[in-house]
Amino acid sequence: MTRRLRILSQTLFFTLFLALLTQTQYQGRDELGLPVKLWLEIDPLHFLSTLLASGSVPGLLWLSLITLALTLVLGRFFCGWICPMGVMIQLAQKLPLRRRPDVIRTNRWRRSQTIKFYLLAGLLAAALFGAQWSGLFDPISIAVRSLGLVVLPGAEMGLRGLFDTAYHFNPLGVSRFSEPVFGWLQGRVIHFAQPRFHQAFLLGTILAAILAASFVRHRFWCRVLCPLGALLGTFARFGLFRIRQRDGCKDCHLCTFHCQGAAEPEIRGGWRPSECLVCGNCTAACGQHGLAMGFARPRALLPPAAGGPAPAPRALRAQAPGGPAPLPRTAESPAPAAAAPSPAKPASPVPAWSSAFAGAQVRRRHLLLAAAAGVAGVPMLRLPLSPARADPALIRPPGALPEREFLERCVRCGECMKVCLTNGLQPTLLEAGLEGIWTPRLVPRIGYCEFHCTLCGQVCPTQAIRRLEPEEKKRVRIGLAAIDASRCLPFAFQTSCIVCEEHCPLPKKAIWFREAAVVTAAGETRVVKQPQVDIELCTGCGICETKCVVQDLPAIRVTSANEDRNPHNRVLLEEAAP
C-alpha cells in the first residue's frame, strides 16, 4: 500500500511541478496568478542557506519549515514522494539499458554515501560567511534550471517545428486544425517567441550526467551527492514513521534488492533512517511479511533500560559497510528447516543503529574539514574580482539588490530567466566571477527589459530581485546606453536613422537628436539627425540595442553604468559617491 501511494504521489506532484514550471512565462498579463515558485519555497536547504548568508528569511521561504516538521514525523518522505529530481532519476532508470547483475552487493550502504553530508557542511559553512552556493547543488534548483532553460525550450523547438511543417506542407489540409491548436498553446504552454539560453549545453550535460550516474549505481545522486537529502536525512533519524520488524524474515534480501536508498532494511540490529526514502519497496517486496511500516517512537532514542532488539550478529553487521553479502537462495539451494509455529508478535520498531552523524557514518574530523574547505573557498572565489570596477556587461534585472546582497540570496534557480518576456535574461558564466556563476544578467542584444514587466521579481523565491510596482519599475535604472559613433549610421556613414529613438519607451525620450551638416564621400553636403543619449533619463532597458539596425556589434550599447543599486558605478565624476 505504501509503495502504491508513493507512486501516485510522485505522479501527481511531478505533474504539478511541470504544470507550474510551464506556466512560468508571460501569458498576456503582467501578473502571474499561480504559485509558480512553490517548490523552491518549500525547500529547507534554500531556507537555511539564505538565513545563514543574508541573515533574513525573505518571502515565503518559511514554508520550508513545514517540510522539516513533516520530516520529523514521516522521515525523508520529500525525497521519495515529492522531489522532482527523484522522479526524473526513477524515470531514467526505467530505460531498457543493461543492468549490473550483482544488484544486492551494489545496493548495500557504502561510505561514499557520507559525501553528501560533507558537501552540506561545506555549503552551510560558506553560507555563514555570505556565499550562497547551495543553489548549484540543490536538486530543486537543478530541476528548475535544467528543465526551464534546456529541456522545455528544446521540447518547444521540436513542437514549433512540427507545427511549422504542418503549416508549410499542409498534408490533407491538417493546417485547418493545427493552426488553432498552435494559437491556443501559445502563451499557455509555449512562449510567444522561441526562448534560447546561453550555456544550455552545459546545463543539459549536467542533468544528463546526474541521470546517467543512476545506471552505475541506483539513485547515485540521491545517495551520494544531494545536500538536500543530507539535510532531510539528519532530521529523518528522529522520524516517527519507521520500519517495523516481524518474525517472518527469511534473510532472502529482497528488501535490500528493491531498496531505493541503500538503507539496509533487513539488518536485524538496525537500519539507516537517514538513507531511507520511505518508498515502501521493502515491505511490498517481502513475501514473508517480515517488514512493515508504521508510526512508532524511534527505538534508538529510548533509554537503555527500555530494552529493544539485540544488536545485529557480527556476521550481519560485517555486511553493512560494504562487505560481501549473502546471495539470495535459488531453487537449487536447500530449503531451511521448517520452524515451529510461534505465537504472533506485534511488529517492533527497528532501532537506528547508524544515525546521520554517528561515528560509523560521518566522522567529525571530516565534517570539520569539509566546513573549513567551504569557508576557505569564499575568499578564493572572490579574489579575482575587483570591487572598485563593475563589469560593464553585468546588467542585473530591475529590482536586483546590491551585488553583495544579491549573491547572498540568489539560488540560481533560473526562474527569472524562464519568465523573461523577451528572453533577455541569460545565465552568467564568469561575468560575475565564479561566485556568481549562473546568476541572471540582461543581454540586450538578445532581448530588452520590457517597460511594464515586473515578472522576474514576482518569481524570485528569495527576493534577490525585489518585486516592484509597475510605476516604480519604470523609474529604476539598470544601466546606461552609449552610442558608438564609429558604427552609428548618421555619424559614420552620413545616413539618416532614427530607430533607437522610435523604440525608446520613456514618455520623455531618453534619446534626442542633434542636426548636423555632414559631407558625404561624393562631396555632397547634407543634414542628418545624430542621436544623443540623455544620461538623466536613460534607464538602460536595452531596447535601443536590441532594435539597432547595425548587425553584429550594434551602434548603441548598454552597460551597467548608472545603475541605481550601485552608487559607485557612475559615468559622471560629479555623481560618484564619496
What separation in angstroms does the CA of 411 have from each of 134, 217, 325, 464? 7, 28, 42, 9
CB contact set of 227 (below 8 Å; sequence gap of 6+) = 45, 116, 119, 120, 123, 134, 137, 138
Is residue 204 scored above 50 in pLDDT?
yes
pLDDT score for 574: 54
Phi, psi of 518, rounded to the nearest 5 degrees: -125, 160
* CB-based contacts of 154-161 (< 8 A; 24+ apart in sequence): 154/200, 154/204, 156/190, 156/191, 156/194, 156/195, 157/194, 159/185, 159/190, 160/190, 160/194
Mean pLDDT of the 428-448 span? 93
Which range is least confidently modeled, 206-210, 427-431, 455-459?
427-431
pLDDT value at position 418? Answer: 96
Give the mean pLDDT of 67-73: 95
pLDDT at residue 334 in the model:
40
Tell me the pLDDT tens digit for each residue of 255-308.
Answer: 888 888 888 887 655 678 888 999 888 888 887 777 878 887 765 443 333 334
Whole-number Å distance between alpha carbons of 258 and 524: 85
Using one digit for the tens of pLDDT, what is the confidence trace for 336-365?
444 444 444 455 555 554 443 433 468 889
For the chain, give the percent of residues with pLDDT over 70: 84
User: Residue 360 has what pLDDT?
Assistant: 41
Mean pLDDT for the stretch of residues 8-26 = 95
- pLDDT of 510-532, one tens digit each? 999 999 988 887 788 889 999 99
pLDDT score at 104: 63
Average pLDDT, the chain: 84
Does 53 score more than 90 pLDDT? yes
Q: Which of 18-32, 244-258, 564-578 has the lowest mean pLDDT?
A: 564-578
SS3 219: coil
Instruction: Look at residue 150 in the predicted model and tell me its pLDDT.
Output: 97
Tell me the average pLDDT across 205-218. Answer: 93
pTM of this structure:
0.86
> What region, left, alpha or beta, does residue 299 occupy, with left being phi > 0 and alpha being psi -120 to 50 degrees?
alpha
Confidence at residue 68, expressed as pLDDT on a 0 to 100 scale: 96
149-193 pLDDT, tens digit per residue, is 999 999 999 999 999 988 888 888 888 888 899 888 887 888 888
pLDDT greater than 70 at residue 129: yes
Task: Copy the grid coordinates of residue 544.
Answer: 535601443
pLDDT bucket at 385, cuts 50 / 70 / 90: low
Residue 431 pLDDT exceeds 60: yes
> What integer pLDDT is reported at residue 193 of this predicted model?
87
- Domains parsed from the chain with CATH numbers: 1-27+34-303+349-376 (no CATH), 388-476 (3.30.70), 480-559 (no CATH)
Q: What is the pLDDT of residue 318?
A: 40
Residue 272: per-residue pLDDT: 84
pLDDT for residue 286: 82
What pLDDT was estimated at residue 348? Answer: 55
